[in-house]
Each structure stands twice: as structure tokens, then as C-alpha cells.
Amino acid sequence: MSTSIQTEANHYFTLNKLDEIVYSSNHDLIQENANVDGNSPMGQMSKVSTEVTKLYAKQMILSEDIRQAIDENYIHPHDLDFLITGTTTCCQIPLAKVLKDGFNTGHGYMREPKDIVSAMALASIIFQSNQNMQHGGQSYPMFDYDLAPYVDKTFEKNKKRLQSYATQYTEEAVDKIAWQETDRDVYQACEAFIHNCNSMHSRGGGQVPFVSINYGTDTSMAGRLLVKNLLLATKVGLGNGETPIFPIQIFKMKKGINFEHREPNYDLYQLALETTAKRLFPNFSFIDSSFNIEHYDGAPESEVAYMGCRTRVMANRHGEEKGVGRGNLSFTSINLVKLALVAKDEEDYFKLLDYYVGITIKQLLERFEFQVKKKAGNFPFLYGQHIWKGSEHLQLEDELNEVLKQGTLSVGFIGLAEALVALTGQHHGESEKSYQLGYRIIQYLREKVDAASENYDLNFSLIATPAEGLSGKFTRNDQQVFGEIPGITDRDYYTNSFHVPVYYNIKSIDKARIEGSFHKLCNGGHITYIECDGDVSKNIKALDVLVKAMATSDIGYGAINHPVDQCGVCGYSGIIDNACPSCQNADESKIGRIRRITGYLVGDMQRWNSAKSAEERERVKHQ
């Protein structure tokens, strides 16, 4: 097809999409992202903008071979609509630094807070402000360490006030009462923070900020108090007992700190298990995994932290290998399934893979060159408030190469399971032979991104793609070409990244073992889920066993899924089958069903696109 005919076809295709948005006739299109209400005015405006800017980016910015690879369904640049803005994906925010220095949101200066209530309120505002600077998520990598000083400030304030009138008490008694009052203050601050994360809006009102917090290893009294109250406030839930969707909470596991009995934060780990049993958060990350411990030098900044669905940022050719103040610049995913469907044999598959990895790397480089040509003044909060590492020296007209080269450029992939079925007849959960081939495929991808890092002196990494809208998009397009092939294209979705298919019956220990081996290859991000049945809050010991099994399997980041339902009539929270066991409400529209869609939670499954809804229905429980 000639370029002019293809351009006209793309224009026509985009106009049809705009009709579907205006008249809300294509649910999958308007709900590609379940964190955005695609039917709201701002959601519609955002979606219209998305389709128009994607067309502009493809026609005016991307190279012809890259555009062809996209049109032929081999690769998918994520957040292509944001390419023209030069935004980056995400950032690990140095919260302690921003709070201490103070910041300006554009309408006035916020000075350093004097207590934990103010500090956590400002932490919410920082999240909201920075969300508008990037197209992905935000994270606080050391939430407990960063906020502990403000717990101490609150304690000192309470102690000073008590000493002014409680002169009859000993200093020990005053300290005890001051800590009790501080405990109450910290709880209220945590409660407000969680409410803010679920009620503030960004990006023109289209969505709440996509935010994550990492914690669990600060053993100070102040840090422990913060984590305890954060978990307690999460357990209680929102105003009517709803499960908080944000922040994504990640409890950092570390031997010697919280892994076993008699370790200082073991009690917080147990509380974390109780909380995830009721609210699905926190997830768990493992500092001692073979690929995370190599970065650890004992300092909190060296603890590997994760963002959102799975993003991990550590390797750095241009500075310290620590995640604070850095993030992912962009990522692009490869359709492993289509490569398998068109390959003549295994040898041909690797030849095709080699070509499309090269195209993906080229596309990431072109996007990087576009990003670094933007000015620091285009992102007044991200660089003006020195969120990104090294931005302290930038002037408004400065370009961004020197700071952005510390970020990561990630190659992603989707559909390893279906690709293996196409190549061998079985996926990696069914056959050792298929597993070995699957491992070689992902290992080959890692070798290619490592080579790109050397060749271009940039931080290329491999990410296990968190596909939401893409899980169905790749599949629908392939079905039009190949039809419905059993075990490959006969479902509404492709399996995420290296995961064993959600519909395959497998023991939790085997799933953790198989998937865990891929985590070390995916240095740009990874996650493994275990699906549980029933009310897991009645068996916390079983959850402990699952978390420890993840650690044993060299998993870097994991989560436990289980049903969390809430009746909108009486407020009952638990498992609801056909009707609420408390008030007998059977109106599905009045029952909230909290489920994990990729790495984050969604309380209204009406916002899920059809591919992810189909995947959720087919998830089996792991024993």
C-alpha cells in the first residue's frame, strides 16, 4: 500500500474511532485504561486527544519501518499519544528531599512541614502535581524513611506541649503520653493520605494519580509507627469501608529486618499479611532476591523499589545504581505470538525476533532523541522542583539529555505462553521442553537489550509488559489474519509477559518456581501473582507460606490475588456470590468487586475492557 493511501486509511480509521468515543459505542476503546472513566467529559476529551495525537505521531514522527511494524501488529509503543509531549513514563520521587527543600506547584511556595499531618498532606500534593508531568505513574521508594523525621517532629511538638502544663509527670511518663498522642496523629495523617490518593484528580480531572509507595524496612520507632498506622488505616478502608485502590502499596521484605521471628519489623510483616488478606495490598518485594541484593549496600537508597504494575529502575551507566530520582523513559512491547505464527521453524523465529527487537530499539532511541530535545521549562514541577536526579542545575531553556540519560528505555513482550503453543504445541507450564525454549527466548531478549546498552551507552532494560488494553488489541488483530487457533488466538487476550496462562491449573509453588526464573532476566520490571480462593483472612499462615515461597523462587516482586467484594447497600465486606450474605442484596450494580487488573486494583469492573474481563473470568485458583 502506498504511503498516501495508507495515510488516508489511517485518517479514516481515526475518524471512525472518534465517532465511537463521541457516542460511547466502543467500550473497549474508551476503557483501554480502567483507571480512567472514559464516559466522563474529561475522559472523553482525553480519549479524543489520544487518538488524534497517536495519528500525528505515527505519520509525522515515526520512521517508516517502525510505522510498518506497528501497523502489522508486531510491536506496540506504549503511550504513543504522549510521544509529542516528550513526557517520560514514571519516576521514583525523592520525597525527603522535596519536603525538606520545599516546593512550588506554580501558585505559591510550600515550605517544609513541621509535623506528620502536614507532611503527608504535602506528599499527596506532590503526587498530584508530578502526575501531570509524566504519562505513567509515580512512586515514593522510601516512604517510611522519608516521613519518619516528621513523626519525630510531631512527637517533639506533643512532648513540648505536655511539658508546659504536666509538670507533675516524670519525663518518662511525658514521653509515653507524647508517643500515644503521636500514634493518634500518625493514624489520622495516614487515613487522610489514603483518602487523598483515592479522591484527588489529575490530567484535567480524568483520573486519580497512579501512585505507589514502598516501605517496611525502617526499624526506627518513628518509621515503624508510620507503617503500622498506614496498614491499619488501609485495613479500615475509605469512608464507607471501601477498599482503597491507591496508593499501590509495596512491603519490602529483607532478611534480618522483617523476614523471621525476633527480627525487629516481623510484627509489621504480619500486619501486612493481615492487610493484604482484607484489601489486596500491600504487594511484596524481595530485597534479597539474587538480582536485587547485588545493588544493596545497607543504605535505604540502595533498596530496590518498584513502581505501579511492576516497573523496576536500577542499572545506571551514568550515575549511582539507585532508583531514587530516576524512572523509565518509555517502553515498547513485542508481539511474541505473531512472530511464532509466521515463523517457518524455531530458527526462523529467532531471526524474526532479532529483527523486531532491532526495530523496537530503534523506536526507543528515536523517542529518546525527541524527549531530550524538550526544554526543562516544559516540565516545571519535574525538573523545576528537582524531582529528577541531576535537574538541580537545569535552566528553563536547557535540553534534557544529561538528566534523562539516567533513565531506562525498556523493551517489553507479551504472549510467551501462546507463542510456545504455536512453536511446540504446549506452553511453559505444561512442558519442560517448552519451558526451556521460553527461557531461551526471554534470555535472548535480555542479551539484545544488554548489547544495546553497550552500543548506545544508555540504560536499556527488559520489562515483563503490564498489558491491559494491549492484551486484547494484539489478539484481535491477529485473529483477523490467522483466525481462531486453539490455544493461541481462540481467547480474547494474550497472556501477560512470561506468566503461565491464568486458565491453567497449576500449584502455587510450581507457578512461583516457573515464573520466578524469569524475574532476573526482566531487569526493567516483573511481577508474579498467586490466585487464592475463599476468605484468606482466616488463614494468615497460608499467606505467609506463599510469600516465603516467592522469596525461595527468586521472585523480585509478587502479589496475592483473592476475591474482595463489598455490598453497596449495607456495607458488608467479604466474599459475595449471588447475593450479599448480610442483607440479601442481589443487585450486581450495587456490589463492588475489587480485582487486580494488571498491577493495580479496580473497584468497578464495568470499566474493564472485554479482554481483561475475559481474562479475569478464566483465572483459576492456585493450591
Rounded to whole angstroms, the Cα distance separating 175 from 388 reads: 39
SS3 at position 142 = coil
Q: Which residue has the cell 501531570?
A: 132
pLDDT tens figures, 529-568: 999 887 898 899 999 999 999 999 999 999 998 888 888 8
Taking the C-alpha atoms of residue 463 and residue 409, their distance in angstroms, rounded to an integer, is: 10
Nearest of 75, 59, 609 to residue 330 by alpha carbon:
75
Percentage, residues of the chain above pLDDT 70: 88
Residue 609 has pLDDT above 60, yes or no: no
**Does the structure show a pLDDT above 50 at 358?**
yes
160 Cβ neighbours under 8 A, 6+ residues apart: none
310 or 35, higher pLDDT: 310
Least confident of 115-119, 245-249, 252-256, 605-609: 605-609
Distance CA 375, CA 361 (A): 24
- What is residue 1's predicted lDDT score, i.e. its pLDDT? 45
Predicted local confidence at residue 32, as pLDDT: 60
Sheet holding 459-464, edge to edge: 75-77, 328-335, 408-414, 459-464
pLDDT, tens digit, 9 for 90 and up, residues 437-466: 999 999 999 999 999 999 999 999 999 998
Per-residue confidence (pLDDT) for residue 452, from 0 to 100: 98
What is the predicted pLDDT for the residue at 188? Answer: 98
- 11-33 confidence digits (pLDDT tens): 555 667 666 766 666 666 555 65
Q: Among 118-127, 138-147, 262-271, 591-600, whose mean pLDDT is lowest?
A: 591-600
Q: Which amino acid is at 504?
A: Y
In this structure, which amino acid lies at residue 430? E
The pLDDT of residue 43 is above 50: yes
In the 8-state DSSP scheme, what is residue 613?
H
Give residue 203's pLDDT.
Answer: 65
pLDDT band at 471 (very low <50, low <70, confident <90, very high): confident
Label residue 611 by pLDDT band (50, 70, 90).
low
Dihedrals phi, psi of 594, to nearest 5 degrees: -80, 125
Least confident window among 29-38, 72-81, 403-412: 29-38
Length of the chain in terms of residues written = 623
* pTM of the predicted model as reported, rounded to 2 decimal places: 0.91
Mean pLDDT of 385-394: 95
Cα distance between residue 549 and residue 140, in whole Å: 26
Flag the least confident range among 89-103, 369-383, 600-614. Answer: 600-614
Q: Give the residues across from 461 on adjacent strands.
A: 410
pLDDT of residue 598: 58
Q: pLDDT grade, residue 4 (50/70/90)?
A: low
Could you read off the pLDDT of 274-283 as tens digits, one per residue?
A: 999 999 999 9
Question: Per DSSP, what are the bridge partners of residue 334?
Answer: 75, 413
pLDDT class of 85 with cuts at 50, 70, 90: very high
**Span 608-620, average pLDDT:** 65
- The Cβ of residue 165 has, within 10 Å, a number of other Cβ atoms equal to 8
pLDDT tens track for 47-64: 677 778 888 899 899 999
pLDDT tens track for 499-538: 999 999 999 999 999 999 999 999 999 999 999 887 898 8
Whether the pLDDT of residue 38 is over 60: the answer is: no
> In the chain, what percentage of residues exceed pLDDT 90?
74
Weakest mean pLDDT among 202-211, 343-352, 353-362: 202-211
Task: Please say if the pLDDT value at position 426 is more than 90.
Answer: yes
